């Protein structure tokens, strides 16, 4: 993993990608620092963090689009996958290199709260918790971008797709609030999820019997709930979509609260996409 990590990190700093990322990251954070803290005479640096999250729409695609897409385009992925290193190490090394560059950006922008603390009384506990949440959310979005980069050999397609997915994740609260709440809509949504999971099971195992049993048991379970407790279906779509809201989980960090459930969510979210990345590469490797 260390060799992959060093190679990717070196690539960032031997091309314009790394410097462009850090420059844009500092510029946008600085803009929100001036508008949220300096102009408004506000000592809460977490307002700057919350406002600057809009830059994830651009920076995450830039940071992740080449991680695997470029390897596939240049056909160097075959050499990489045949090297004496595990797929887990490859994915982990690339993920950690992108995450390191992101952390460097955060460290550079610490100059803003440090400057602010010279002129006002800051709550550093609140700020550090906010930075922790900011880091965790960025890690989640980077894992998503890395996964999307595996699915294509075109960096532009990877960047555009990552932009779209990150946008949906950031807007998930608004999307969830406009979702239907009727029982019928909830049942249709659940059935769609069941079919999606079943297709995933079949794609992984190539066993139609196992996926069929999963669908049958899910239908029976859903039917029993509908017969005996139909009210449980109320608002299922809103609750399910709300689970994917990375912004919603940042609220506690913004207020200076470290919630174990939020930490577990961010870690699980990142690990899930890293697992999906490893799974896709494994299938491609042996095919």
Q: Half-sphere exposure of 247 toward its Cβ, with a 13 Å CA cutoff?
A: 19
Establish if 109 belongs to a structural domain.
yes
Q: Do 166 and 196 lie in a common domain?
A: no
Instruction: Count structural domains, the chain.
Output: 2
Domain that holds residue 207: 183-234
Q: Do 230 and 253 lie in a common domain?
A: no
Residue % of the chain over a pLDDT of 70: 84
Please state, in angstroms and rounded to a whole number, the distance separating the CA atoms of residues 54 and 107: 19
Please state, in angstroms and rounded to a whole number, the distance separating the CA atoms of residues 180 and 234: 9
- pLDDT (0 to 100) of residue 174: 73
- pLDDT (0 to 100) of residue 48: 92
Q: Do 115 and 49 lie in a common domain?
A: yes
Cα 60 to Cα 33, 42, 224, 277, distances in angstroms: 20, 28, 43, 16
CA angle 139, 179, 262 (to 5 degrees): 30
- pLDDT (0 to 100) of residue 267: 93
Q: Do 259 and 281 lie in a common domain?
A: yes
- pLDDT (0 to 100) of residue 132: 94
Please state, in angstroms and rounded to a whole number, the distance separating the CA atoms of residues 225 and 142: 38
Helix (H), strand (E) counts: the chain: 16, 0
Boundary residue ending a domain (191, 215, 234): 234
Establish if 71 belongs to a structural domain.
yes
Q: Do 195 and 223 lie in a common domain?
A: yes
Q: Do 219 and 251 lie in a common domain?
A: no
* pLDDT tier for residue 244 given thresholds of 50, 70 and 90: confident
Q: Do 130 and 228 lie in a common domain?
A: no
Please state, in angstroms and rounded to a whole number, the distance separating the CA atoms of residues 137 and 46: 14
Q: Do 83 and 127 lie in a common domain?
A: yes
Residue % of the chain over a pLDDT of 90: 25
- pLDDT (0 to 100) of residue 137: 92
- Does pLDDT of 287 surpass 60? no
Establish if 239 belongs to a structural domain.
no
- Per the prediction, the chain carries an average pLDDT of 82
Q: Do 168 and 107 lie in a common domain?
A: yes
Establish if 218 belongs to a structural domain.
yes
Establish if 94 belongs to a structural domain.
yes
Lowest pLDDT segment from 89-98, 206-215, 275-284? 206-215
Burial of 165 (C-beta count, 10 Å sphere; 0-12/13-18/19+): middle
């Amino acid at each position: 993993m260390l060799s992959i990590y060093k190679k990717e990190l070196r690539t960032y700093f031997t091309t314009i990608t790394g410097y462009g990322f850090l420059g844009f990251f500092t510029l946008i954070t600085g803009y929100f620092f001036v508008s949220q803290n300096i102009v408004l005479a506000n000592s809460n640096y977490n307002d700057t963090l919350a406002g600057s999250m809009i830059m994830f729409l651009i920076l995450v695609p830039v940071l992740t689009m080449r991680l695997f897409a470029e390897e596939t385009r240049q056909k160097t992925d075959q050499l990489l996958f045949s090297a004496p290193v595990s797929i887990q190490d490859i994915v982990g090394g690339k993920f950690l290199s992108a995450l390191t560059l992101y952390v460097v950006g955060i460290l550079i922008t610490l100059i803003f709260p440090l400057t602010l603390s010279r002129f006002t009384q800051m709550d550093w506990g609140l700020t550090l918790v906010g930075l922790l949440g900011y880091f965790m959310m960025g890690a989640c979005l980077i894992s998503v971008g890395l996964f999307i980069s595996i699915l294509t050999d075109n960096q532009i397609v990877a960047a555009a797709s990552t932009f779209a997915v990150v946008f949906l994740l950031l807007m998930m609260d608004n999307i969830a609030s406009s979702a239907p709440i009727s029982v019928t809509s909830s049942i249709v949504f659940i059935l769609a999820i069941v079919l999606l999971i079943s297709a995933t099971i079949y794609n992984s195992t190539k066993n139609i019997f196992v996926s069929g049993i999963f669908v049958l048991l899910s239908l029976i379970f859903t039917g029993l709930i509908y017969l005996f407790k139909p009210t449980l279906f109320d608002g299922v779509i809103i609750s399910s979509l709300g689970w994917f809201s990375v912004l919603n989980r940042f609220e506690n960090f913004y207020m200076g609260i470290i919630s174990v459930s939020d930490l577990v969510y961010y870690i699980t979210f990142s690990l899930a996409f890293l697992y999906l990345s490893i799974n896709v590469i494994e299938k491609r490797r042996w095919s």
